């Protein structure tokens, strides 16, 4: 079945086909066609024509919202099929994939509601004869480039607001996990997206992603992925002064004060870092613990980490799936080796699992390191895997300083029963999202994005829509008259 969608037609690509691998057992799920340079040109041209001459940017916002609502209904209809495919492709548990589809559905509904009521604003000029208003218009052709960890979810955070605002899009999912992005495009087609409004190109970053970021026909790049790729994209986009929104990695502190309920914090600290095998941008990979609680907490977290049941994401008993690829597992093993070489104390994991049925897949045991120092590589870089590092603190100021001692600034959490302290720490942390006595939840109506090297954009919330809009000021003088600024020529 053709896997590229260009100008309203499913089509074969001129690039080399690629095998999509199931990380549970390294089997081939499907072979997909990929784009070549001519496909990139065709997709951008289709999106350009649909934007410049097509109906979509001029369609009333309420009608665009209707299409998003139809997509949401189709997601509900196909939930089980999509969730199963996401699990096969990423290795995450079916429970997580089902939650992802529910979240994606909510994002489409949220932007449908927001777009329908986004009329811009009137500005008071102090002159009764002047109407000054700010109108919201689409940016144009948007390239949406997404990562492999939450393929469908990350795409929805981009495509729903981009379409709600009236843009046309060219989607480039990760070559590692493209399947549910293709499914979503099929739903957009079924919901009635006009030809050229939504296009999808499969292929790798070098041959498909990079040409999109340099292309003069693309007005905006919205990218979610790693820091180095984000930096390359910002450089590439500079040539044509594109709008660029980058959502990058994180090294997220999870700060625990000793007055917190022990069981609650153990349980949540494990989920914060080991959900989806730690392959989460906002994973709570740095546990920062008050001295008096430290030893007990480390011991209990280590004990429970050793018991996490790894397995096939499709098996309801599985608590955590594999890493996404052999190459990614090799990176994790390298981080573990460096942590040990730099003197971190291994409390749990640090090895592949022994179970015979897990030998074909890319599994790695949840790993906990104590006695970690701020200069260790495992603590400074985003490992993006099942590795928890533990640090300790004595004072509130020290906890805040540790939490901010990172180049990243995506998310963090503070656990305490002292609400004054919770607020002080939350305000002092330089991270885009801070949870108090929780870790991980988000809602479509609240902005998501990074401080510092975690990115420069915002997704979700009203700002997530504004990213895909030009805000144009229209000044209307209803009683024009000579200004009489240059009077030397005399009035006629
Ligand atoms: P990645 O290697 O940076 O790739 C992301 C996407 O960019 C993929 O589609 C990739 O294509 C493409 N790409 C690679 N080189 C490119 C280039 N030169 N020009 C244009 N596109 C290019 O990231 P990843 O490994 O897939 O994802 C993991 C990263 O994403 C982590 O750092 C994680 O923290 C981050 N992330 C951030 C958020 C957030 O909300 N801030 C959310 C999720 C993930 P191919 O892979 O197909 O080659």
List the catalytic residue out of 86, 96, 175, 247. Answer: 247
DSSP-derived pairing of the beta strands 9-11 and 4-6: antiparallel
The protein residue with its alpha carbon nearest to ligand 1, atom 10, reads: 205
Cβ within 8 Å of residue 13, ≥6 positions away:
2, 3, 4, 33, 34, 35, 36, 39, 201, 202, 203
pLDDT reported for residue 492: 66
How far does CA 118 lie from the centroid of its chain? 24
Residue having the nearest C-alpha atom to atom 43 of ligand 1? 281
Determine whether the shortest distance from the Cβ of 20 to ligand 1 is under 6 A.
no
**194 burial class (0-12, 13-18, 19+ CB within 10 angstroms)?**
middle
How many CB atoms within 10 Å of residue 383?
25
Buried b (16+ CB within 10 A) or exposed e, 391-430: bbbeebeebbebbbebebbbbbbbbbeeeebbebbbebbb
Q: Which two tokens stand for residue 174?
A: 């990760």
157 lines ligand 1 (CB under 6 A): no
- Cα 209 to ligand 1 centre (Å): 10
- The structure's pTM equals 0.97
Judge whether 163 and 136 are in contact, CB under 8 Å: no
Residue (of 439, 92, 436, 442) closest to 284 by Cα position: 439
What would you report as the CA-atom Rg of the chain, rounded to the nearest whole angstrom? Answer: 25
Query: Do 108 and 21 form a contact (C-beta atoms < 8 A)?
Result: no
For residue 177, which of 102, 95, 101, 86 has the smallest C-alpha distance? 86
Q: What percent of the chain has pLDDT over 90?
A: 97
pLDDT at 1 over 80: no
SS3 assignment, position 249:
coil
Does any ligand 1 atom lie closer than 6 A to the CB of residue 450?
Answer: yes
Rounded mean pLDDT, 411-440: 98
Does ligand 1 lie within 6 Å of residue 293's CB atom? Answer: no
Give residue-wise pLDDT tens across range 290-332: 999 999 999 999 999 999 999 999 999 999 999 999 999 999 9
pLDDT band, residue 93 (cuts 50/70/90): very high
Average pLDDT (55-80) is 97
CATH 3.40.309.10 fits 253-436, yes or no: yes
Task: State the pLDDT at residue 127.
Answer: 95
Q: In sequence order, what are the beta bridge partners of 30?
A: 20
Q: Is 175 in the pocket of ligand 1 (CB under 6 A)?
A: yes
CATH for 4-249+450-475?
3.40.605.10
Q: Find out whether the beta carbon of 247 lies less than 6 Å from any atom of ligand 1.
A: yes
Which of 23, 209, 221, 459 is the best mutation target for the ligand 1 pocket, counting ligand atoms within 8 Å of the beta carbon and taking the most? Answer: 209
- Which three-class secondary structure state does DSSP give residue 213? helix
> For 122-127, what is the mean pLDDT?
96
391 in contact with ligand 1, CB cutoff 6 A: no
In the reported structure, the alpha carbon of residue 279 is separated from the centroid of ligand 1 by a whole-number distance in angstroms of: 12
Q: Is 372 a catalytic residue?
A: no
What's the longest Cα–Cα distance across the chain? 96
What's the CA-to-centroid distance between 223 and ligand 1, angstroms? Answer: 7
Cα–Cα distance, 83 to 48 (Å, whole number) = 32
Q: Where are the beta strands (DSSP E) in 257-304?
A: 286-290
**pLDDT at residue 490 greater than cutoff 80:** no
Quote the pLDDT of residue 491. Answer: 67
Share of the chain above pLDDT 70, in %: 100
* pLDDT at 139 (0 to 100): 98
Question: Is 328 a pocket residue for ligand 1 (Cβ < 6 Å)?
Answer: no
pLDDT in tens, 208-263: 999 999 999 999 999 999 999 999 999 999 999 999 999 999 999 999 999 999 99
Asked if pLDDT for residue 118 goes beyond 90, the answer is no
C-alpha dihedral (332, 311, 442, 415), degrees to nearest 10: -70
The reply to whether 96 belongs to the active site is no
Task: Please state the atom number of ligand 1 nearest to the C-alpha of residue 225.
Answer: 30
**pLDDT greater than 80 at residue 16:** yes
Query: How confident is the prediction for the chain on average, in pLDDT?
Result: 97
Does 4-249+450-475 match 253-436 in CATH topology?
Answer: no
What residue ranges do the domains of the chain occupy? 4-249+450-475, 253-436
Looking only at the bridges linking them, the beta strands covering 243-247 and 220-224 are parallel
**DSSP conformation letters of 174-202:** -SSS-HHHHHHHHHHHHHTPPTTTEEE--
Q: How confident is the model at residue 489 (pLDDT cuts 50, 70, 90)?
A: confident
Ligand 1 mean position, distance from CA 145 (Å): 7
pLDDT of residue 117: 87
Task: Assess whether the C-beta atom of 382 lies below 6 angstroms from ligand 1.
Answer: yes
pLDDT at 332: 98
Ligand 1 centroid–CA 146 distance in Å is: 6
Whether the Cβ atoms of residue 389 and residue 278 lie closer than 8 Å to each other: no
Which of 15, 146, 147, 432 gets mutated to test ligand 1 (max ligand atoms within 8 A of its CB)? 147
Identify which of 158, 179, 225, 332 to mutate to test ligand 1's pocket (most ligand atoms within 8 A of the CB): 225
Alpha carbon distance 263, 266 (integer Å): 5
Q: Which of 334, 320, 310 is nearest to 283 (CA)?
A: 320
User: Hey, what are 472's tokens?
Assistant: 């144009």
- Residue 104 Cα to ligand 1 midpoint, Å, equals 19
Cα(319)–Cα(339) distance, integer angstroms: 25
Angle made by CA atoms 165, 171, 174, in degrees to the nearest 5: 135
Q: Which of 281, 290, 372, 459 is catalytic?
A: 281
Sign of the Cα pseudo-torsion (462, 465, 470, 472, in order): negative
Sign of CA dihedral 485, 489, 491, 492: negative
pLDDT digits (tens, 9 = 90+) for 405-422: 999 999 999 999 999 999
Residue 146, ligand 1, Cβ within 6 A: yes
Non-local (6+) Cβ contacts of 132 within 8 A are: 122, 123, 124, 125, 473, 474, 475, 476
Residue closest to 469 by CA, chosen among 147, 118, 125:
118
pLDDT of residue 99: 98
Question: Which value, to the nearest 10 degrees, does the dihedral of the CA atoms of residues 110, 112, 113, 115 take?
Answer: 110
């Amino acid at each position: 079945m053709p896997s590229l969608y260009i100008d309203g037609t499913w089509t074969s690509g001129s690039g080399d086909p690629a095998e999509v691998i199931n990380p549970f057992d390294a089997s081939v799920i499907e072979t997909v066609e990929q784009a070549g340079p001519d496909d990139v040109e065709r997709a951008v041209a289709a999106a350009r024509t649909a934007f410049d001459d097509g109906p979509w940017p001029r369609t009333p916002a309420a009608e665009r919202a209707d299409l998003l609502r139809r997509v949401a209904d189709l997601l509900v209809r196909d939930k089980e099929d999509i969730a199963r495919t996401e699990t096969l492709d990423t290795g995450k548990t079916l429970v997580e994939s089902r939650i992802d589809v529910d979240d994606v559905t909510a994002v489409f509904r949220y932007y449908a509601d927001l777009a329908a009521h986004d009329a811009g604003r009137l500005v008071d000029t102090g002159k009764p004869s002047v109407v000054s208003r700010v109108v919201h218009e689409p940016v144009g052709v948007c390239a949406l480039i997404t990562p492999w960890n939450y393929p469908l979810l990350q795409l929805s955070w981009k495509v729903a607001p981009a379409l709600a605002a009236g843009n046309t899009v060219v989607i480039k999912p990760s070559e590692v996990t493209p399947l549910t992005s293709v499914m979503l495009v099929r739903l957009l087609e079924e919901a009635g997206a006009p030809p050229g409004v939504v296009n999808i190109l499969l292929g790798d970053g070098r041959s498909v992603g990079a040409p999109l970021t340099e292309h003069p026909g693309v007005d905006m790049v919205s990218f979610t992925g790693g820091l180095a790729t984000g930096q390359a994209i910002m450089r590439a986009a500079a040539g044509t002064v594109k709008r660029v929104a980058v959502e990058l990695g994180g090294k997220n502190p999870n700060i625990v004060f000793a007055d917190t309920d022990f069981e609650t914090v153990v349980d949540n600290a494990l989920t914060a870092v080991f959900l989806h095998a730690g392959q989460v941008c906002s994973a709570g990979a740095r546990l920062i613990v008050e001295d008096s609680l430290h030893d007990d907490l480390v011991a209990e977290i280590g004990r429970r980490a050793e018991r996490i049941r790894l397995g096939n994401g499709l098996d309801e008993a599985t608590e955590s799936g594999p890493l996404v690829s052999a190459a990614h597992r090799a990176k994790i093993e390298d981080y573990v080796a460096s942590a040990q070489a730099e003197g971190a104390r291994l409390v749990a994991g640090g090895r592949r699992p022994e179970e015979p049925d897990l030998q074909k897949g890319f599994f790695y045991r949840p790993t906990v390191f104590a006695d970690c120092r701020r200069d260790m590589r495992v603590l400074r870089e985003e490992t993006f895997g099942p590795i928890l590092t533990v640090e300790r603190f004595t004072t509130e100021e020290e906890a805040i300083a540790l939490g901010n001692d990172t180049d990243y600034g995506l998310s963090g959490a503070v656990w305490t029963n002292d609400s004054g302290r919770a607020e002080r720490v939350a305000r002092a942390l330089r991270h885009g999202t801070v949870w108090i006595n929780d870790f991980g939840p988000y809602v479509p109506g609240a902005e998501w994005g990074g401080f510092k090297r975690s990115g420069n954009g915002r997704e979700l919330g009203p700002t997530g829509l504004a990213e895909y809009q030009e805000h144009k000021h229209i000044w209307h003088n209803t009683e024009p008259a000579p200004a009489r600024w240059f009077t030397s020529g005399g009035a006629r």
